[in-house]
Amino acid sequence: MGQPLNVGVVGCGAISAQYFSTIDRLPGLRLAAVADLDPGRAAEAVAAWPGTPVLSVADLMADPGVDVVLNLTIPAAHAEVALQAIAAGKDVYGEKPLAADSADAARVLRAAEAAGVRVGCAPDTVLGTGTQTARKAVDDGLIGRPVAATATMVTAGHERWHPNPDFYYVPGGGPLLDMGPYYVTSLVTLLGPVTSVIGAASRLRGKRTIGSGPRRGEEIPVSVDTHVTGVLVHDSGALSTLVMSFDAAATKAPNIEVHGERGSLVVPDPNHFDGVVQLSAVGEAGWRDLPDSAGYVAAGRGVGLADLAATPAGEEPRASGTLAFHVLDVMESLLASAASGAAVTVGSTCERPSPVPLLAF
């Protein structure tokens, strides 16, 4: 085994602890340094990992002991931080979405190509046993030719639990750009790239009230649509129906279902790594559970970065910038369709990422 990849983390907010635990568990990754605009927050975040240097963002980027920048900032800062890392000659792996809009995301990919560095992006949850077992069922023909899918994510809003939820209600956020990456990445993994979309969207309120932490009770403005629905037309001809909402209380609909000519699958929550895949074949009564047959077992956030670290130079990592760009383009096209009332052709495409065999994490 080669040397571990030295990871410099930029952005040490709510999600960072999950990544620190993953980096701790994996011999191929080492936590080299952290940085945040708020150094106190960075120091607090790594309190459980004593000895981790807390640097300024500029010093972390310049540090020769950092091989890859893990970008866990808010969506509005994703492109700026990624471009800093690329300018420093480092690979970069970031939280979703790849950038707040596709123009910024394209700048990131162009700069990375020119610099000869790699870009990876969340979500990596779809590399876990849940989505991967469903993908294997599709690839093995258990449902026959795929015809359609439904994807449903409904919540009353993240401001109820997140202490700094502002980013969820500005461009780069909203239910589609925040939660859509899990669902659209899963749909592309299962059914392949998307060629056109038809969307509609609405907004329940112009303000939201923070429900936890020091800012509890504070009202924040909403500048994005908070209920987005639409149809994705896959290159294969399959049609996916999407409902992403911060405006509804709850749902009993499965997160994702995939329907084929010979059967239907229930696919687990794409925001989780695992979960039970269920199959109902035409002519069979009820549903049967499928055993885990593919994917990283007991994985955690950061497995996509480990996957990138293990990908030979010149090959595309599974949680790649190209896939994340296509997913962002699909979501942006859906919002453009909602605004215009017309179907929108998706300009980008990507390969389905290679399947993950059943592997210990």
Contact call for residue 177 and ligand NAD (CB under 6 A): no
Contact call for residue 298 and ligand NAD (CB under 6 A): no
Nearer to ligand NAD, 24 or 80 (CB): 80
* Count of positions on this chain that bind ligand NAD (CB under 6 A): 22
What's the Cα-to-Cα distance from 67 to each of 34, 78, 176, 305, 354, rounded to whole Å?
Answer: 13, 18, 32, 12, 25
> Taking the mean position of all CA atoms in its chain, how far away is CA 150?
18
Q: Tell which one of 12, 231, 279, 299 touches ligand NAD (CB under 6 A).
A: 12
Q: Which two tokens stand for residue 359?
A: 């592997």
Contact call for residue 79 and ligand NAD (CB under 6 A): no
Question: Residues near 144 by Cβ (< 8 Å), separated by ≥ 6?
Answer: 260, 261, 262, 263
Q: Give the whole-angstrom CA distance, residue 105 versus residue 326.
A: 10
Contact call for residue 236 and ligand NAD (CB under 6 A): no
Q: Give min distance, CB of 179 to ligand NAD, in A.
A: 9
Q: Which two tokens stand for residue 289?
A: 């559970």
Contact call for residue 319 and ligand NAD (CB under 6 A): no
Query: Which own/partner pairs from 46-51 qualify as long-range (CB within 8 Å, at least 24 positions apart)?
Result: 46/12, 46/20, 48/17, 48/20, 49/20, 49/24
Nearer to ligand NAD, 182 or 296 (CB): 182
Contact call for residue 14 and ligand NAD (CB under 6 A): yes
Q: Give min distance, CB of 211 to ligand NAD, in A.
A: 14
Phi, psi of 164 (to 5 degrees): -130, 70
Nearer to ligand NAD, 75 or 317 (CB): 75
Contact call for residue 164 and ligand NAD (CB under 6 A): yes
Nearer to ligand NAD, 38 or 219 (CB): 38
- Specify the stretch interacting with ligand NAD by CB under 6 A; choose among 9-17, 58-66, 104-112, 148-156: 9-17
Nearer to ligand NAD, 46 or 77 (CB): 77
**Residue in the shown chain whose Cβ atom is closest to ligand NAD:** 13
Q: Give min distance, CB of 229 to ligand NAD, in A.
A: 21
Q: Show the CA angle centred on residue 276, arms to residues 138 and 286, nearest 5°.
A: 75
Q: Give the whole-angstrom CA distance, residue 211 versus residue 218.
A: 8
Question: Residues near 113 by Cβ (< 8 Å), separated by ≥ 6?
Answer: none
Residue 270 DSSP symbol? T
- Is the peptide bond prior to 123 cis by the omega test (within 30 degrees of 0)? yes
Nearer to ligand NAD, 74 or 356 (CB): 74
Q: Give min distance, CB of 81 to ligand NAD, in A.
A: 5
Dihedral through CA 332, CA 109, CA 171, CA 195, nearest 10?
A: 10
Strands 119-121 and 91-94: parallel
Mask of contacts with ligand NAD, 51-70, x by CB under 6 A?
A: ------x-------------
Nearer to ligand NAD, 32 or 143 (CB): 32
Nearer to ligand NAD, 94 or 317 (CB): 94
Q: Which residues of the shown chain bind ligand NAD in the complex (CB under 6 A)?
A: 10-15, 36-38, 41, 57, 72-75, 77, 80-81, 95-96, 164, 178
